[in-house]
């Protein structure tokens, strides 16, 4: 996924929420990696670190990070 694609997804989500009168923005973020080349432990460590870095920006009155359709179905939870 490129920066342009992330920017487009954020803009699209902003418009969808505005049209539906849902009080959420369209922020997007991510990590560049190839999860097919990572172990479950590496994916878990990456996920935990990512959340640790954005923890001040997420919450019930802020935003909720949700996966996009391009997210891998592989789960480190097992």
Catalytic residues: 28
Q: How far apart are CA 6 and CA 42, in angstroms?
A: 23
Check: CB of residue 31 under 8 Å from CB of residue 50.
yes
C-alpha distances out from residue 54 to 23, 64, 77, Å = 20, 10, 20
């Amino acid at each position: 996924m490129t920066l342009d694609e992330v920017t487009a997804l954020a803009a699209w989500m902003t418009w969808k929420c505005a049209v539906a009168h849902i009080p959420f923005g369209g922020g997007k973020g991510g990590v560049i990696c190839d999860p097919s080349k990572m172990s479950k432990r590496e994916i878990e460590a990456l996920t935990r670190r990512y959340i640790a870095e954005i923890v001040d920006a997420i919450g019930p009155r802020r935003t909720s990070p949700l996966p996009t359709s391009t997210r891998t179905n592989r789960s480190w939870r097992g």
